[in-house]
Each structure stands twice: as structure tokens, then as C-alpha cells.
Amino acid sequence: MTLSLSAPSSSSLLVASGDLVYIREKNTLILNNSQVAIDLLEKRARIYSDRETSLAVKLLSQSLMYAALYGLEIGYEDPLAQNTILLPGFPALERFPWLRFMPSSFPGCEFKRAVNECAQGLDDIETIPFDKAVNNLKTGAGTSLVAELALENKGRPELIELIKTMGTNGFIAAADTTMSSIGSFRLTTFEDRQSLPYVEAIYREIMRLHPPLPLGINHVLTEDDFYMGYHIPKGCIVVPNIWAMNRDPNVYSEPDKFIPEPFLDSPDGPFTSINNIYTFGFGRRVCVGRYMGDNTVWLAIASVLATLDLRKAKDNEGNEVDIPGEYTQTFFRHPKPYRCCIRPRDARASELILAAAGGV
């Protein structure tokens, strides 16, 4: 595994965030145009603001998808990188569909305002990267999965709409979830351990403790079914409570605490099937991007652990600032931004990072 830092561009000196970017080749996490990179190259330990850390994680998740689908390299300065959609989830509407005919001032209809805000962001995500990708293919600037599909289906507007939707859905499904999982990986209290089983145990524990989609995605029965003596009729909506499954007190003695060791101590060890990670869902509609999500989150954790030291930030009096551990109450559950201090783990780690950055 290599953690490589590309030389920062002059424009990136103006930006606040480290741009953890994307996995370009297997096992390579590129930190690009990054304030973190600048600090590391200048051997400077620095406290990162909550905004900086959350932007870095956001950009890692989003730029991976922009690259994979549209062939676009998105830097921090790009307006696309500033676009965040936190889908709030609309439980009241799901239970009482007639609410959609009521004005937003009607009790329980506050969701209408959120819908409007999301709509603009979704519109941008649907059109801007698509248009850029198609234009790049036309001008020979670059190729991509989405642009080639669009070219093959030129003159078939209904298919073009489907391709656009595929891109948007893939982006939304991948970016928020990955960002949420990486964001949940924060200061841990164990001593320096770089053995891979332990990294795996940490990864599994993060996925267990903080599922980005705590209530999964609703499923509808296509035919009558029976489960443990219950009759579940056709058409019934089933909400999978991933949050509760991951906190089964019969399996986890302290379900709400971050304790990776049980994965190491279990008879099968930590490297069991990805299907055991309920956070990706289950059955026929299990997350289709789970291997990609699994690799991205794992690699981010492993790269950071191998080279960087993460500590709590200190206030002006030198006291450590606690991490509140608060999360958004949105459809995709995200950790709220928090401050922390990041620096190279030791001289060897600095050398490794600098060598990967181009032999400074």
C-alpha cells in the first residue's frame, strides 16, 4: 500500500482543505492538491478545522465517483465538490402519501422545503458532470463510461435520460455512503498497530457502529410471505433496521462502544465474507457497489493509520477538545464536522510520504 502525495499546485495554497482524492491504481490512495500535503511536505503539524476535515473526506468520496463514472478529475475548487446533498428522508410522507398535496405550512409538511433544496442540487449533479463528460469525449479531452454510453445511444432521448439517471443514482448511492463511513473513522485509543487483521477489525467495527443508512432502503413484498409465524402480505413495506441488527445485544456485549477486538477473537477471525457486513444490506437488493465501498473505506483507514497520527485538537489554553460524536439526522447519517490534529506518525512515515510524493 502506498500513500502518495502529489506536489501542491499554487491555487491549492489558497484552499482550506486537504483533498484526499481517489484510488488511481490498485492500492494507491492519492492525496492531491492538498493542504494536508503542503503541511506534510513542510513537516508541519497543524490543527485541522472541522470544515477542513469534512471537506477532505467529502472530496475523497465524491471525486472517486466523478472519476469512475464521468472521467472527471474534481479538485476542491470545483463547484461540483462544494455540492453536498444530505437526503433528509421523509418518513411522514412515506406513511401518509397524501401529505404531498398539502402546503408546506401544514404540520408535518416541513419536508417540502427540504425537497426544493435537494432538487436544485440533484439537478446540478444530473446535468453538469454529464455535459462535461460528453464535451470531453467530443473534444478528445477524455473518455468515460457515461459519455461513451451517451454516444452509443445518440438520438434516443429516452435512453439518454436513463443514462443520466444511472449516473446520478450511482453518484448518490456511492458518495454519501462512502463519505459517512470514512467520516466515522476517527480518533481511536489503541496503541500503534499496523497488522492487517487489526485494521480489518477496525474497519468492520466502524461499519457496524455507524451504518450510513441506519434503516437501509425500504423493500416491498412482491408476494405474501411468512416469517417466524408472522404473515407479511404482498405490497407490505419492510424497513430493515440495520442499526438494531448491528447492535444485537446477544452478539455484542457493549453494542454502543467502539471495540474492534471481538472481530479478531471470533473463531473465523475478522476476514469473513462481505455479506456479514449488514451495513451494505442483504439479499437480492444488497448494495451493488459494496466491493467498491469496502475497498475505498478500508484503504482510507489503512493509509491513514499507517502514516499519520490523529489526535484531539487543543484549545487556546492547551486543553484537548473533545470530539462530540454527533451525527446528522438525515437519510444518509453523517458524522458532524469535528476538529482534530493530524501529523506524520514518525520520521519513517514522513520519509515514506515524501518519497511517494516524488523523492523530496
Residues ≥6 apart with Cβ < 8 Å to 219: 237, 238, 240, 283, 285
Report how far residue 230's alpha carbon sits from residue 196's, in angstroms, rounded to the nearest whole number.
Answer: 43
Neighbours of 352 (CB within 10 A): 18
Q: Which of 90, 198, 243, 282 binds ligand HEM (CB under 6 A)?
A: 282
Is residue 297 close enough to count as binding ligand HEM by CB under 6 A? yes
Q: Which of 286, 308, 321, 354 binds ligand HEM (CB under 6 A)?
A: 286
Closer by beta carbon to ligand HEM, 281 or else 344: 281
DSSP string covering 212-252: SSTT---EE-SS-EEETTEEE-TT-EE---HHHHTT-TTT-
Q: How far is CA 214 from the centre of its chain?
A: 14
Closer by beta carbon to ligand HEM, 34 or else 184: 184
Stretch that binds ligand HEM, among 80-88, 174-182, 222-230, 301-309 (CB under 6 A): 174-182
Stretch that binds ligand HEM, among 135-143, 280-288, 315-323, 340-348 (CB under 6 A): 280-288
DSSP string covering 88-140: ---HHHHH-GGGGGS-TTSTT-THHHHHHHHHHHHHHHHHHHHHHHHHHHHHT
Q: Which of 173, 304, 353, 356 binds ligand HEM (CB under 6 A)?
A: 173
Smallest distance from ligand HEM to CB 63, Å:
13
Stretch that binds ligand HEM, among 97-105, 142-150, 255-263, 289-297 (CB under 6 A): 289-297
Q: Which of 71, 170, 183, 335 binds ligand HEM (CB under 6 A)?
A: 170
Stretch that binds ligand HEM, among 120-128, 139-147, 175-183, 230-238 (CB under 6 A): 175-183
Is residue 181 close enough to count as binding ligand HEM by CB under 6 A? yes
Is residue 287 close enough to count as binding ligand HEM by CB under 6 A? yes
Report how far residue 340's alpha carbon sits from residue 229's, in angstroms, rounded to the nearest whole number.
Answer: 50
Closest CA relative to residue 212, chosen from 86, 319, 98: 86
CB 206 within 8 A of CB 184: yes
Binding positions for ligand HEM, 184-223, rule CB under 6 A: 212-213, 216-217
Closer by beta carbon to ligand HEM, 32 or else 177: 177
Could you tell me which residues are beta bridge partners of residue 32?
Answer: 19
E runs forming strands in the chain: 2-5, 19-23, 28-32, 46-48, 219-220, 225-227, 230-232, 237-238, 308-312, 340-344
Rg (CA), the chain: 22
Residue 211 three-state SS? coil
Size of the site for ligand HEM (CB under 6 A): 23
| 287 marked among binding-site residues | yes
Closer by beta carbon to ligand HEM, 169 or else 272: 169
Closer by beta carbon to ligand HEM, 109 or else 277: 277
Residues that bind ligand HEM (CB under 6 A): 169-170, 173-174, 177-178, 181, 212-213, 216-217, 279-282, 285-289, 292-293, 297
Detail the residues annotated as belonging to a binding site for heme: 287
